[in-house]
Amino acid sequence: MKLQIMEKNKILKYGIYLVSIVGIITCFALLFPPVRQSIIERVGQIRHKEILSVQEWSNTLLSYALGGIFFILVLNYCFITVRGREHVLRITDEIKACWGEIDRHSFVKPILLMFGIYLLSILTLIRANFLYLDDITRTISGYRGWYEWSRYVSEFFSIFIQGDFHLTDISPLPQLLAILFLAIGSVLSVYVLNAGKITISGLLASIPLGISPYMLSCLAFKYDSPHMALSILASILPFLFLARKKAFVFVSVISLLIMCMTYQAASGIFLLITLVLGFSDWNKKRKTNREILLFFGQTVLSYCMAMVIFKLFLMRPYSTYVSNAMLPVPQMFSGMLTNLQTYVNIITDDYGFIWKALIGIVFCFFIAKSVFTSAQNKVVSFISAIILLSLLFILSYGVYIVLEHPLFEPRALYGFGVLLAITGIDVVSGFNKAAKIFTLALSWSFFIFAFSYGNALADQLRYANFRITILLHDLSALYPDKDKVENKISVQLKNTIGFTPAVKNIAKHNPVIYKLIPQMMTENNPWFDFYDFEYFNYTPANSINLEMYKKTGETYVDFNTLNLPVVVETYYHTIKSDGMRVLVELSEGKQ
């Protein structure tokens, strides 16, 4: 037996040596600019197009090389050196001990319950069968491309889900996986925040984690939704290992890296749970100040380690409609205030009166519970609870708060829903009935809105397909020979078709619906140019809009400036053309 173990260790050792040698040679080769240049040229040949951002690619390869060297050194330290092996064994033992102490069977029924709730809430969304933004081009061309945003886990996970390197529409499987991850995340959040107890009221209070209005935008994506949901689950998972320091730090770093490589909008969730747990222990004097500070130290260390590793070795710089560049240090404070103000304004504008009232009441109950159950000075506890809520709100936006040009689309704001879930779970745990009623009322309102959202998507899709059909009918009648070389035409859209009466009705009380439902026929929208034309097998020579021109570096000509003659005028659109260039002025119809 000992000989077999020694033989296995010897094989492992030499295997690591071999991998390390090959890896080091490869990484050091990438440090030289000519090598990186040749790789970039080869990638361009494979992709059958010239790579415009050569310097960006070169810098990315350099980061990968340095990251590879770092990883190889860590690997050798952990498995070759005596001290490294001791650390690995200690961490492994701690992870096994934590995992063994968890009653995992108690998770099964709650997960099934939450999965059923989330499944019921997105039935109308699944039925709508709506191609949401990126879904359009992924369905038409089958491309992945998540690596361009440093989402490598999403890249490989998509291959596993699809069972192929080429993407096809396999919905609703990805959305079912997404709500499974969210169901597990809800159960774990209740388990962690409620000291290992899972209650029905806690589970229902966690509903905003999975179906807040902003999270519904994520679930609308047929391809991206499981990756977005996984980012939430990865942020919660480390707290199962909180009882062991080394296991907690190790799992936290790995989980946070997974979060960064799936969807970075979840980057604040880990810190939200940390602050709530630390505040609860301090407020009820369950732990000493020293123990709480040590806990904060572990979480901050884990978070910083993960962010530094991601930033230095894994993150690809990008600057399109958003940027992942951090604010310059001199402008950090003012820039953060600007981003925060925008964040506040968006939520205030998006949420209706009833939602805002319920959220305000839940927050008041959170403060009240913190005071009434406090073992600290009541005044200090009151002030601390207000400060805590303020910090939680800021951190719910994650690292985006310190970026030069962060994303403010609904899909980037689901951290606010997680904040509502966390505070709701805390409020319904051991407090009065009124607190439970208002907290569960907020969950109910989101649950009902999910049905409205799915139906609104279906209604907007019906209307958009009708408008596209009559437009393509007129274009095909005007240019029946458009595919001949001498008759090639270019099409641009102007204005938009607007929203259906059903969507406008929802918006009267919930304005966020306007942001959750994309405009499917509108000017300068790259996604829906594909849908309006290619999806219906009508492809002009150039239906590319301004944003696409910016990417290709071509000269953009706005057909609206050409004073083209009117060739067709209807209630829904006016077509202007000189025979080669076509400008379609869309009308929103009767208001």
**Residues 57 and 109 occupy one common structural domain:** no
pTM for this entry: 0.92
Confidence band, pLDDT 50/70/90 cuts, at residue 400: very high
Mean pLDDT of 75-103: 87
Q: Determine, yes or no, domain membership for 571.
A: yes
**Residues 47 and 154 occupy one common structural domain:** no
Torsion (CA) 394, 253, 258, 443 in degrees, nearest 10: -40
Model pLDDT, residue 126:
97
**Residues 157 and 187 occupy one common structural domain:** yes
Mean pLDDT of 404-424: 96
Q: Which of 154, 173, 351 is nearest to 261 (CA)?
A: 154
**Residues 71 and 124 occupy one common structural domain:** no
**Residues 132 and 39 occupy one common structural domain:** no
Query: What domain range includes position 58?
Result: 2-80
pLDDT tens for 196-206 read 999 999 999 99
DSSP 164: S
Q: Determine, yes or no, domain membership for 459.
A: no
Q: Determine, yes or no, domain membership for 266.
A: yes
**Residues 43 and 115 occupy one common structural domain:** no
Tokens of 305: 């380690």
Range name among 104-113, 396-405, 430-439 with the lowest pLDDT average: 430-439
Mean pLDDT of the chain: 89
Confidence band, pLDDT 50/70/90 cuts, at residue 558: confident
Model pLDDT, residue 28:
80
Q: Taking 50 as the threshold, does the pLDDT of residue 552 lie above it?
A: no
pLDDT tens for 416-473 read 999 999 999 999 988 888 999 999 999 999 999 999 999 999 999 999 999 999 999 9
Secondary structure, 3-state, 366-377: HHHHHHHCCCCC
Range name among 69-78, 122-131, 172-181 with the lowest pLDDT average: 69-78
Model pLDDT, residue 45:
67
Other C-beta atoms closer than 10 Å to the C-beta of 585 total: 16
**Residues 317 and 401 occupy one common structural domain:** yes
Q: Determine, yes or no, domain membership for 314.
A: yes
Q: Determine, yes or no, domain membership for 94.
A: no
Tokens of 31: 């440090």
**b/e 229-259 (16+ beta carbons within 10 angstroms → b):** bbbbbbbbbbbbbbebebbbbbbbbebbbbb
Confidence band, pLDDT 50/70/90 cuts, at residue 8: low
pLDDT tens for 366-392 read 999 999 999 999 999 999 999 999 999
Is 425 within 8 Å of 189 (Cβ atoms)? yes
Mean pLDDT of 107-112: 97
**Residue 490 is inside which H or E element, if any?**
strand 490-494
DSSP 314: I
Other C-beta atoms closer than 10 Å to the C-beta of 567 total: 15
Q: Taking 80 as the threshold, does the pLDDT of residue 167 lie above it?
A: yes
Tokens of 159: 């291959």
**Residues 178 and 257 occupy one common structural domain:** yes
Q: Is the peptide bond before 526 cis (omega within 30 degrees of 0)?
A: no
Model pLDDT, residue 550:
45
CA distance 520 to 463: 10
pLDDT tens for 510-551 read 999 999 999 888 887 776 677 888 888 887 655 544 444 444
Q: Taking 70 as the threshold, does the pLDDT of residue 589 lie above it?
A: no
CA distance 362 to 186: 18
Q: Determine, yes or no, domain membership for 89.
A: no
**Residues 383 and 510 occupy one common structural domain:** no
Mean pLDDT of 121-129: 97
Number of independent structural domains in the chain: 3
Model pLDDT, residue 286:
92
Confidence band, pLDDT 50/70/90 cuts, at residue 590: low
**Residues 297 and 152 occupy one common structural domain:** yes
Model pLDDT, residue 551:
46
Quote the percentage of the chain above a pLDDT of 70. Answer: 92
Q: Which of 494, 501, 491 is nearest to 462 (CA)?
A: 501
**Residues 481 and 386 occupy one common structural domain:** no
Mean pLDDT of 91-100: 92
Q: Determine, yes or no, domain membership for 556.
A: yes
**Residues 383 and 258 occupy one common structural domain:** yes
From 383, 412, 431, the end of a domain falls on 431
Q: Taking 70 as the threshold, does the pLDDT of residue 226 lie above it?
A: yes
Q: Determine, yes or no, domain membership for 95.
A: no
Quote the percentage of the chain above a pLDDT of 90. Answer: 65
Model pLDDT, residue 50:
55
